[in-house]
Structure 1
């Protein structure tokens, strides 16, 4: 797909926005700033602080490196560092929706992973001669996981199952291509399911 407008549409449909995370961070920051502003206004009006005056907050922050117990300070610092790392990952990692792009030169085509998994499972069941409920397929962002639960005594050709899954994905023209992993359930796994 070469049209930039179609690329933008596909990206919007396959990647999740960061609106919720940004909203939470902004609300927390605004609440903290409002609290500091209220405490500053109370101090300027000569009223006692609700929690701590700005001068007390600065003095506390300045004395924090020498505070006791050291373990609590280190744990708090580690917690803030982890929170910062999580926010960085949220900011820069691409969020993905459970959808795949299908190749088309003239249209933006996006399919839900559940629909794609159902189509792959149906094709595998038909070609391998299995009951439809004997095949479970999960579609991720980069791979398709196939779990086959054959009836007792019936052999399953893993290569044929893998080829059926690949053929269905190629027929659908999933872009970029997904890798296929096939697993045959053992007797214990079948009885637990």
Structure 2
């Protein structure tokens, strides 16, 4: 395997989460259900009392479900459809970790979103002339939101913070790139 291909594979593995947790959970649930059904069948064949429901009673209940009230059938169908929808979404959607890849030719580099958030918070704190505890940054897949609570009695300079954050993001070379939004709270915070 060539080095660039290996780097792409390593970066992909580090920036996307695996489906093993959901697959293992689903497998364990299916194993428990099938073990229970097997146990109930063996107990019924031996003439013993069932643990929860005898297989013949369960089959009769499933076959007689058509005569149940429409509300109960609709609620059951909605629950089954939601479970199916969640499983389909888990299977199709790419699992993304809070990390980004840097475009460096000679190595594989991955940057955690928390590091980016701290860097943007520090930059916004300096540009807005506020304490770092008055800055909150959240980094999503494509957007960073910088929220500043200005010191009480002072107005925050949104343009200065916006420009400083823009320059900071432009200095990074990672993918996917981030756009940003700067929000300054209407109420100030007393500086301690």
The normalised TM-score by structure 1 is: 0.85
Which residue in 2 is equivalent to 1:40?
41
CA–CA separation in structure 2 for the residues paired with 1:78 and 1:171: 49
Which residue in 2 is equivalent to 1:115?
115
Q: CA 1:160–1:62 in structure 2 vs 1: closer, same or farther (change >3 Å)?
A: same
Give the alignment of 1:35-74 within 5 angstroms: 35-67=36-68, 69-74=69-74
User: 5+ residue gaps in structure 1?
Assistant: none
Which residue in 1 is equivalent to 2:184?
184
Bigger mean CA offset, 47-56 vs 169-178? 47-56
Bigger mean CA offset, 130-139 vs 23-32? 130-139
Q: Say whether the 8 Å CA contact 1:147–1:184 is kept in structure 2.
A: yes
Deviation of 1:42 after TM superposition, in Å, equals 2.1
CA–CA separation in structure 1 for the residues paired with 2:24 and 2:154: 54
Deviations 1:12-64 (A, max 9, x none): 21222222221211111011111111122222233343333333322221111
Which residue in 2 is equivalent to 1:4?
5
CA–CA separation in structure 2 for the residues paired with 1:148 and 1:46: 71
Q: Say whether the 8 Å CA contact 2:141–2:176 is kept in structure 1.
A: no
Which residue in 2 is equivalent to 1:88?
88
The normalised TM-score by structure 2 is: 0.86
Q: Say whether the 8 Å CA contact 1:147–1:183 is kept in structure 2.
A: yes
Which residue in 2 is equivalent to 1:20?
21
CA–CA separation in structure 1 for the residues paired with 2:159 and 2:174: 20
Q: CA 1:129–1:46 in structure 2 vs 1: closer, same or farther (change >3 Å)?
A: closer
User: 5+ residue gaps in structure 2?
Assistant: none
Q: CA 1:60–1:150 in structure 2 vs 1: closer, same or farther (change >3 Å)?
A: same
Q: Give me the CA root mean square deviation.
A: 2.1
CA–CA separation in structure 1 for the residues paired with 2:103 and 2:164: 19
Which residue in 2 is equivalent to 1:139?
139
Which residue in 2 is equivalent to 1:101?
101
Q: CA 1:60–1:124 in structure 2 vs 1: closer, same or farther (change >3 Å)?
A: same
Q: Say whether the 8 Å CA contact 1:100–1:141 is kept in structure 2.
A: no
Deviations 1:134-177 (A, max 9, x none): 32222112110011222244443323322211221222212121
CA–CA separation in structure 1 for the residues paired with 2:127 and 2:51: 72
